[in-house]
Amino acid sequence: MSVVAQDRQMPARTARSVVGRVLNWYAEHARDLPWRRSDVTPWAIMVSEFMLQQTPVERVRRPWQAWLERWPTPASLAAAPPGAAVRAWGRLGYPRRALRLHQAAQMITSDFNGEVPKDRESLLRLPGVGPYTAAAIRSFAYGQREIVLDTNVRRVLARIGFGVAMPSATPTARERTLAQELIPHDSRRAARWAVASMELGALVCRARNPLCDVCPVRDLCAWRQAGNPASVGPPRRNQAYVGTDRQCRGALLALLRAREDPVEDQQLAAAWQDVAQRKRALASLVQDGLVMLVGRGWSLPGSGHDLDEKGHRCS
* Catalytic site positions: 49
Q: Which residues contact 141 (CB under 8 A, 6 or more apart)?
A: 41, 42, 45, 46, 116
CA atoms within 13 A on the CB side of 247: 9
The whole-angstrom separation of Cα 142 and Cα 131 is: 16
**Amino acid type, 59:** R
To the nearest 10 degrees (0 to 180), the angle between helices 42-52 and 57-70 is 140
Q: Which residues contact 269 (CB under 8 A, 6 or more apart)?
A: 275, 278
CA atoms within 13 A on the CB side of 253: 31
Q: Strand pairing partners for 298? A: 263, 293
**Amino acid type, 8:** R
Q: How far is CA 245 from the centre of its chain?
A: 22
The whole-angstrom separation of Cα 281 and Cα 250 is: 9
Q: Looking at the chain, list the stretches that DSSP marks H as alpha helix, in order from N- to C-terminal side.
A: 12-29, 42-52, 57-70, 74-78, 82-89, 96-111, 120-125, 131-142, 151-162, 173-182, 187-203, 222-225, 245-258, 265-271, 275-287
Q: Strand pairing partners for 313? A: 307
